[in-house]
Structure 1
């Protein structure tokens, strides 16, 4: 699909997740978010954040304009956008809701990503994430900050490998999670369809339709970005 957005709702949708980098720069230019923002990354994958402790010579540190950001996003791999965005300072911290576990090596003392100290949290279950939010235990990362939801629809497919087939959560569970996310006070939302990781195009379309229904999005109101 083409990249579309719903400006009034501050929702930016893309097929491939690397374009989130550009969307976040747009949000920063529109003052929807600032350098103190918190990113909540809901995804079947960690998107290589902890594998990319050092990135050199790929141009991430020379992105100075929206055109630069567009060009940079267009040449990055689908899972190589998160570390540069954090290193650049688009976010103060990152909270993960992901089926993947953070590598043990990171817990053992490597607390910097591309020269910047990592702050955040990580959850492998929605119930744990919800509990921590509602108990106030994440307030130190969230309170008083602009907040960005970064949702990859492949989160709802339990088969996390490319073309692994459809092992989707039930529609009731998907709608429950989406409804909870919708009702949180976000300042900006990015959504990736990732059909290859949702199982196939039909699975991605099904999840996407549920997402649009829950978030009250009408395709006729969308514009390209």
Structure 2
């Protein structure tokens, strides 16, 4: 379980455009690399399935965010913080909850469908604009200033995969907008306590299968987030179910 001890662990299956990572901040780099290759277009649709919303907007302030043009530069921008090191997190760091707004700032993500049982309201562009104008909130003003001119970022919100699936229609998936599946395996831990409570295995397999088959995704990013899955064993178990469902063998992946 090398991935448990290495915060920078990440493996890709380039021919399938599937990226695995221990820490979710690396999803930003994966999306930007696929855009660099021409596989993702600006204003892509992101389907974010996660125990957490990960909608913290300070990702727009990460140094080098707008200037990065190469794979090496994108990797440097996405570099996160090793929380186990005991070192203080540097300012303006890419983190496991602010990478979506970082991609919005680069116009890579134009819409997000949040599928999360976190009981909070999603931060919207309208909320930021309202506080920037009517409350003269300087932080919101600075965030808006980092977004693309005429930004139209929007979102939808669902509490779980079944409610999301019940809303899907053919028209949504027939658009030319490129589409990303972003899954954090901690979604399958429904406990709000320290002790984990994973969904039944049959349900996990069913939901993984449905997500895989919903669309021929232009990119897929998978975060292990072992601490939020409940621990090393829980994360390993969920990773095994994912690999089996998506018909992948971890040794065949490439470090990136």
> What stretches of structure 1 of length at least 5 have no aligned partner?
none
Residue 18 of structure 1 is matched in structure 2 by: 25
Q: 1:156 aligns with which of 176, 188, 193?
A: 188
Tell me the TM-score normalized by structure 1: 0.87
Residue 246 of structure 2 is matched in structure 1 by: 215
Residue 132 of structure 2 is matched in structure 1 by: none
> Is the 8 Å Cα contact of residues 68 and 74 (structure 2) preserved in structure 1?
yes
> How far 1:118 moved relative to its partner?
2.5
SS of residue in 2 equivalent to 1:110: helix
Alignment of 1:60-75 (within 5 A): 60-75=65-80
Q: Which runs of 4+ in 1 moved over 3 A?
A: 53-59, 104-107, 111-117
> How far 1:10 moved relative to its partner?
1.3
Post-superposition Cα deviations, 1:107-140, rounded to whole Å, max 9, x if no partner, equal 9x4165644332121100222100111x44x72x
Does 2:196 match 1:166? yes
Distance 1:27 1:36 in 2: 13
Q: 1:86 aligns with which of 101, 104, 116?
A: 104
> How far 1:105 moved relative to its partner?
7.4
Distance 1:170 1:142 in 2: 32
Distance 1:105 1:193 in 2: 24
> How far 1:69 moved relative to its partner?
1.2
> What stretches of structure 2 of length at least 5 have no aligned partner?
4-8, 81-93, 130-142
Distance 1:121 1:105 in 2: 11
SS of residue in 1 equivalent to 2:127: coil
> How far 1:67 moved relative to its partner?
1.9
Does 2:12 match 1:5? yes
Change (3 A) 1:128 1:64: same
Residue 130 of structure 1 is matched in structure 2 by: 165
Larger Rg, first or second structure (1 or 2): 2
Distance 1:20 1:8 in 2: 17
Tell me the TM-score normalized by structure 2: 0.77
> Is the 8 Å Cα contact of residues 38 and 93 (structure 1) preserved in structure 2?
yes
Distance 1:59 1:200 in 2: 33
Change (3 A) 1:143 1:222: same
Root-mean-square deviation (CA), in Å? Answer: 2.3
> Is the 8 Å Cα contact of residues 154 and 198 (structure 1) preserved in structure 2?
yes
